[in-house]
Amino acid sequence: MQAILTMTEPLKYHLSVAQIEDELDQVKAAQLDPGRFDPLYKKYYARIVNYVYHRIDSKEIAYEITSQVFYNALNNLAKFKSQGTPFGAWLFQIAGNELNQWFRKNKANRTINIDVAGIAHLKQEVDEKNCDADDQKLFEALQRLGKDDLELIDLRFFEDRPFKEIAEITKMNESACKMRIYRILEKLKHLMK
């Protein structure tokens, strides 16, 4: 129940180099003794549940998938190699893989939880001069995007993640991530005409 309550909290992402190094020390300790994984689990559990729940729209399934994410993370912790990014980026990649596997297995469609603030921000980006863009046209345009494009729009506008974190989650370079999102916005503009 605690995780559901914290899902609405704003994301706190920006970590300093010192914080990333401290986190890496925690990972190294957990690699030597799995009992020391708890601080990492506590730090990322609510964020991973939120990420999964945002795409599944079922609390029970979100908890199941999140459990599998941390099970896989703990079992593969010895394989983790730091690339100067937060440990969470690796967990989000595992979560993305678990979600994709769940969608394939259950032949289910991905959902996006759209909030008022996210749609307003997206509408502003798509039509800077006139924020009164037609919601119906925007929703139809979003449905015509490919899975990967929709994921980037979701991460940026509906989860309000910074470009740096999106790049780490998707294993892209940050400038390529920005460029791709701006191209998707242009595509949305075109689809809405």
| Domain map (residue ranges) of the chain | 2-106, 116-192
CATH number of 2-106: 1.10.1740.10
pLDDT at 113: 66
Is residue 20 very low, low, confident or very high in pLDDT (cuts 50, 70, 90)? Answer: confident
Residue 13: exposure state from Cβ atoms within 10 A (0-12, 13-18, ≥19):
middle
Q: Tokens representing 163? A: 């470009």
pLDDT at 1: 29
* Section 177-193 average pLDDT: 92
Q: Tokens representing 110? A: 């991905």
pTM attached to this predicted model: 0.73
Average pLDDT for the chain: 84
Percent of the chain with pLDDT over 70: 85
pLDDT at 147: 85
Note the pLDDT tens digit of each residue in 119-136: 788 888 887 555 555 778
HSE at residue 38, side-chain half, CA atoms within 13 A, is 2
Residue 116: exposure state from Cβ atoms within 10 A (0-12, 13-18, ≥19):
exposed
Asked if the 116-192 domain carries CATH number 3.10.129.10, the reply is no
Between residues 73 and 192, the one the model is more confident about? 73
Terminus-to-terminus CA distance in the chain, angstroms?
Answer: 44
- As a residue count, the chain comes to 193
